[in-house]
Amino acid sequence: MTALHGPGVLVVDRGELVSTHPATGAEVGRFPVLDADGLTGRVDRARTAATWWAGLGFTGRRRLLLRWRSLLANRIDELAGLVHAEGGKPIADAVVEIASAIEHVDWAARNARRVLGPRRVRSRLIVAEFAARLEYQPYGVVGVIGPWNYPVLTPVGSIAYALAAGNAVVLKPSEYTPAVGQWLADSFAEVVPEQPVLQVVHGLGDVGAMLCRAGVGKVAFTGSTATARKVMAACAESLTPVLLEAGGKDAMIVDEDADLDAAAEAAVWGALTNAGQTCIGIERVYAVEGIYNDFVAKVVTKAQKLTVGSEPDAHLGPITMPAQLDVIRRHIDDALARGGRAVLGGADAVQPPYVRPTILVDVPEDALAVREETFGPTLTISRVATADAAVTRANAVPYGLGGSVFGKRRAVELAGRLRSGMVAVNSVLSFVGMSTLPFGGVGDSGFGRVHGDDGLREFGRAKSMTVRRGPSLLPAMTFERTPAQVAKIAKAVKIMYGR
Ligand code: NDP
**pLDDT value at position 424?**
98
| Ligand 1 atom at minimum distance from 230 CA | 18
User: 12 falls in which pLDDT band (50, 70, 90)?
Assistant: confident
Which positions ≥6 away from 257 have C-beta within 8 Å? 407, 408, 409
Spatial separation of the C-alpha atoms in residues 149 and 143, rounded to whole Å: 19
The band of 4, judged by pLDDT with boundaries at 50, 70 and 90, is very low
- One DSSP character per residue, 111-138 reads HHHHHHS-EEE---GGGTTEEEEEEEEE
- How far apart CA 402 and CA 279 sit, in angstroms, is 9
* Cβ–ligand 1 contact at 175 (below 6 Å): yes
Q: CA triplet 25, 158, 217: central angle to 5 degrees?
A: 115
**Which atom of ligand 1 lies at the shortest distance from residue 212's CA?**
20
**Which residue out of 279, 326, 439 has the highest number of ligand 1 atoms within 8 Å of its CB and is therefore the one to mutate?**
279
What pLDDT does 13 receive? 72
The SS3 call for residue 90 is coil
Ligand 1 close to Cβ of residue 350 (< 6 A): no
d(CA 267, CA 253): 10
Provide the whole-model pTM: 0.95
Q: Does the CB atom of residue 461 touch ligand 1 within 6 A?
A: no
Q: How far is the CA of 287 from the centre of ligand 1 (A)?
A: 32
453 three-class SS:
helix
Confidence tier at 7 by pLDDT (50, 70, 90)? low
- Sequence-distant (6+) residues with CB within 8 A of 130 are 123, 466, 467, 468, 469
Ligand 1 neighbourhood includes 158 CB (under 6 angstroms): no
Ligand 1 atom closest to Cα of residue 401: 41
Distance 245 CA to ligand 1 centre (A): 9
Rounded Cα gap, residues 107 and 102, in angstroms:
9
Which range among 1-15, 134-148, 382-396 shows the weakest confidence by mean pLDDT?
A: 1-15
Atom 19 (ligand 1) nearest CA: 209
Q: Is 185 helix (H, G, I), strand (E, B) or coil?
A: helix
Q: pLDDT per residue over 438-487, tens digit each?
A: 999 999 999 999 999 999 999 999 999 999 999 998 899 999 999 999 99
What's the pLDDT score for residue 449? 98
The rounded Å distance from CA 241 to ligand 1 centre is 18
> How confident is residue 258, by pLDDT bands cut at 50, 70 and 90?
very high
Residue 349 above 50 pLDDT?
yes
Query: What is the full DSSP assignment across 237-268?
Result: TTT--EEEE----EEEEE-TTS-HHHHHHHHH
pLDDT, tens digit, 9 for 90 and up, residues 164-205: 999 999 999 999 999 999 999 999 999 999 999 999 999 999
Question: Stretch 416-437: mean pLDDT, rounded?
Answer: 98
Q: What is the DSSP letter of 210?
A: H
Q: Does the pLDDT of residue 3 top 80, yes or no? A: no
Whole-number percent of the chain with pLDDT over 70: 98
- Distances in whole angstroms, Cα of residue 235 to Cα of each of 175, 213, 217, 231: 21, 7, 10, 6
Candidates 1.10.150.110, 1.10.3720.10, 3.40.630.10, 3.40.605.10; correct CATH number of 33-246+451-460?
3.40.605.10
| Cα 108 to middle of ligand 1, angstroms | 24
Counting ligand 1 atoms within 8 A of each CB, the residue from 180, 225, 227 with the most, and so the one to mutate, is 227
Ligand 1 neighbourhood includes 230 CB (under 6 angstroms): yes
Q: Which residues fall within 8 angstroms of residue 124, CB to CB, at 6 or more apart? A: none
The verdict on the CB of residue 147 being under 6 Å from ligand 1 is yes
Work out which ligand 1 atom sits closest to the CA atom of 147: 25
Q: What is the pLDDT of residue 422?
A: 98
Q: What's the mean pLDDT when you consider all of the chain?
A: 96
Q: What would the mean pLDDT of 90-110 be, rounded to a whole number?
A: 97
Residue 441 CA: nearest ligand 1 atom is 41
Q: CB count, 10 Å around CB of 287?
A: 30
pLDDT in tens, 56-73: 999 999 999 999 999 999
- Is 103 a pocket residue for ligand 1 (Cβ < 6 Å)? no
What are the beta bridge partners of residue 252? 285, 404
What pLDDT score does 2 carry?
A: 35
The CB of 177 under 6 Å from ligand 1? The reply is no
Regarding the beta carbon of 324 and ligand 1, being less than 6 Å apart is answered no
Residue 200 Cβ < 6 Å to ligand 1: no
Confidence of residue 96 (pLDDT cuts 50, 70, 90): very high
pLDDT one-digit tens code per residue, 272-327:
999 999 999 999 999 999 999 999 999 999 999 999 999 999 999 999 899 999 99
Q: Among all residues, which ones are annotated catalytic?
A: 245, 279
Homologous superfamily of the 250-437 domain (CATH): Aldehyde Dehydrogenase; Chain A, domain 2 (3.40.309.10)
- Is residue 13 classed exposed, middle or buried when 0-12, 13-18 and 19+ CB atoms within 10 A define those classes? exposed
What is the pairing mode between strands 358-361 and 378-384? parallel
Residue 71 near residue 170, CB atoms below 8 Å: no
Atom 5 of ligand 1, residue of closest alpha carbon: 223
| Per-residue pLDDT, 23 | 87
Residue 100 C-alpha to ligand 1 middle, in angstroms? Answer: 20
Please report, for the chain, the start and end positions of each structural domain, with discontinuous segments joined by +: 33-246+451-460, 250-437, 469-497
Q: What percent of the chain has pLDDT over 90?
A: 95
